[in-house]
Amino acid sequence: MDDAGRSAGEYDAMAAEYAADNAANSFNAFYERPATIALLGDVEGLRVLEAGCGSGVLTAWLADHGALVTAFDVSPAMLEIARAKVGDRARLLVADVGQALSFAEDASFDLVVASLVLHYVRDWGGVLREFARVLRPDGHVVVSTHHPAMDWQLHAKDDYFAVRQITETWSKGSGHFEVTFWRRPLTAMSEDVAAAGLVIERLVEPAPLPELAELDPAAYEVLVSAPRFLFLRLARSCEAG
């Protein structure tokens, strides 16, 4: 099965449970989402493409802050949850980030955001080239993904440089669900960025929000003691024009 079909099936299976957990859990609400939003900056009036919008939490934030949002996800069940949350405040589509974004014209977006999406795709090169294609010359791409050191410690201690498919079992709500993704080294990430005609403007390994220390001390200790996610803000390279 290809990456898109696998991810769609896995997220369709746990859509309701995942959406409820993602909205409030420590790793998303107090760590990943605030760090992504910090890299987005002021989005008012910007045309934003959100790849892998999931249940629409970030989509709603973008719309609330004045962005003109087109968002897509490979999971129809997740997209239905997003649609219930966002209504007509964003254009929502079922689409595969690993394929050509035929609905998007060249240089049509000021900002592209992919929050915890790219680790589900084997080939970053094609995805990032499409992001660069739809991006305006002065635009930016914001990406969050699994930190390569985290995945190395958990899944690839024998070979840090391996690009390797991993399947984990996640507990969400009262259920247990298999989730499959790809781990890769930082070198592979940066080479794919460069090959797409993009440059890394900022690379961030954030700390969780300070209030998490009281709300969830165990999660706070995990997040300040070892990197979990990696955040990139990308721009078009001078050579790309």
Q: What is the CA radius of gyration of the chain?
A: 17
- Domain assignment present for residue 177? The answer is no
Contact call for residues 76 and 13 (beta carbons, < 8 A) = no
E-strand ranges in the chain read 47-51, 68-73, 90-94, 109-115, 135-146, 164-172, 175-183, 198-204, 229-236
Q: pLDDT tens digit string along 191-211?
A: 999 999 999 999 999 999 999
- Domain assignment present for residue 176? The answer is no
Average the pLDDT over 1-19 and give the result: 94
- Domain assignment present for residue 75? The answer is yes
- Domain assignment present for residue 45? The answer is yes
Residue 182, pLDDT score:
95
- Domain assignment present for residue 181? The answer is no
Q: Above 60 in pLDDT, residue 95?
A: yes
Residue 241, pLDDT score:
55
Burial profile 37-59: b = 16 or more Cβ within 10 angstroms, e = fewer: bebbeebeebbbbbbbbbbbbbb
| Count: domains in the chain | 1
Cβ-proximal residues to 157 (8 Å cutoff; 6+ apart), any chain = none
**Residue closest to 122 by CA, chosen among 2, 232, 203, 11:** 2
Q: How many CA atoms lie within 13 A of 58 on its CB side?
A: 33
Average the pLDDT over 19-26 and give the result: 94
Using the 8-state DSSP alphabet, how is residue 208 labeled?
A: P
- Domain assignment present for residue 169? The answer is no
The CATH number for 24's domain is: 3.40.50.150
Q: How confident is the model at residue 226 (pLDDT cuts 50, 70, 90)?
A: confident
Q: Above 60 in pLDDT, residue 235?
A: yes
Q: pLDDT tens digit string along 52-75?
A: 999 999 999 999 999 999 999 999
Q: How confident is the model at residue 240 (pLDDT cuts 50, 70, 90)?
A: low
- Domain assignment present for residue 60? The answer is yes
Average the pLDDT over 159-168 and give the result: 93
Q: Find the domain containing 50 and state its range.
A: 3-147+188-236
Encoded amino acid at 142, one letter: V
Cβ-proximal residues to 239 (8 Å cutoff; 6+ apart), any chain = 197
- Domain assignment present for residue 138? The answer is yes
